[in-house]
Amino acid sequence: MRRARRGIHFGLQYQHFSRVRMLGRFMDREANRPRYYGVLRVENTLLSKGEGLFVDGMPVSPGNSFFEVELSNPLKIPSICVGLSPPDQKPGTPLGSDEKSLGYNVTDSSVHHKGEATPYDACKKGDKIGCGVKFSEDAKDDEPRTVYFTINGREIATQEVEFPACGLFPAISFKTAGDRVQVHLQADGPSMVEEMVVDSCEEDWARLHDVDVNGPFLSYVGRGKSTANVGLAQARKPVTPTNHYFELEIIDPGKNCYVAIGLARRNYPKSRHPGWNYGSIAYHADDGKLFNGVGQGDPFGPRCYKGDIMGCGVMFPRDYQFDE
């Protein structure tokens, strides 16, 4: 393993609706404030009261080109559409059903634009739906721009769209009461470094479970809601006297830095951290403990954080004979 882009993170964050505001009509657009209709908002959590609409107060731009919506309701998948719209999008009009807006509809897993639907990958509870624009430096104002959609950071669809003079704004349309999502308007879009990587390096890995590979970067894309939602990347080749050491760098530790580095047998359970089960040993970043085939670790080293580099190796005897 060369580098780890994201830490494995668990846990569902619940918001307490102690401070809410219900807006039955649109707010004015002074100071670029967001607009709501039939939606409760608590910080970054939106809860619909029926057919509702959210439109951000700032249009997408080269410096603010991507946002994500997390399907945070653990009981059901909401009937929503995530995408872009003009600032005067009409309430009760689903994104993509008119000429000027577009969006990914969670219900039918399709991108809707100008009243037409194109099916793409489906999502599930806990996923993050992203929408962004690929701005080109040499593009003219009247030229179409590429809008793209992601699920858990993985691009699933693109659509060429003509931008109106007023721009397009991050938007979410709701269909049924009780739909709840978390919106992240300042989310980081897919890295330009990733787009420049030609070799995905997937051939280096024998097994990838809830992990995406982009060159030297590994990204956890699982649900992250319980200890069963573990992402595993297992190399194709075993350690040998000539290939006996590897490292990872923690680029993004997630909430708790649930990252483990170690060794495991070939058929190790994909939903278990290395070190938790027989036939494995691993150093865990979150608590600095060494796990050696059991679920209880022993104090071993320091806890690790963003920017730390963790390594794992084997000191083979000089007379060791490796059997291919």
231/248 Cα distance (integer angstroms) = 15
Confidence of residue 141 (pLDDT cuts 50, 70, 90): low
Cα(258)–Cα(216) distance, integer angstroms: 19
Do strands 66-70 and 80-85 pair parallel, antiparallel, or not at all (unpaired)?
Answer: unpaired
Mean pLDDT computed over every residue of the chain: 83
> Which range, of 56-65, 256-265, 280-289, 300-309, averages the lowest pLDDT?
56-65
193 φ/ψ angles, rounded to the nearest 5 degrees: -65, -40
Amino acid at 310: M
Q: Which of 311, 254, 249 minimizes the C-alpha distance to 6? A: 254
Residue 132 tokens, joined: 């962004």
Distances (CA, A) of 86 to 25, 28, 134: 17, 14, 18
Top pLDDT among 217 and 137 is at 217
* Distance in angstroms (rounded) separating the CA atoms of residues 122 and 8: 22
Instruction: Give 66 or 22, the one with higher predicted confidence.
Output: 66
* DSSP structure string for 268-320: --TTS-TTSSTTEEEEETTT-EEESSSSS-EE-S----TT-EEEEE----TT-
Give the whole-angstrom CA distance, residue 179 versus residue 175: 8
Q: How is residue 70 annotated by DSSP?
A: E
170 contacts 44 by C-beta, under 8 angstroms? no
pLDDT digits (tens, 9 = 90+) for 2-36: 443 333 333 333 333 333 333 333 434 444 688 88
Rounded average pLDDT over 301-308 = 93
Average pLDDT over residues 37-64: 89
Could you give the C-alpha distances from 29 to 51, 90, 184, 220, 294, in angstroms and in order?
A: 21, 15, 20, 38, 58
pLDDT in the model for residue 27:
39
End-to-end, the C-alpha distance of the chain in Å comes to 21
Q: What's the confidence (pLDDT) of residue 199?
A: 52
Q: For 79-103, what is each residue's pLDDT tens digit?
A: 899 999 999 998 888 999 998 999 9
Quote the tokens at residue 50: 């029926």
The predicted model scores a pTM of 0.53
Calculate mean pLDDT across residues 146-157.
Answer: 92
CB 112 within 8 A of CB 94: yes
Closest CA to 57 of 37, 81, 82, 28: 28
d(CA 206, CA 203): 7
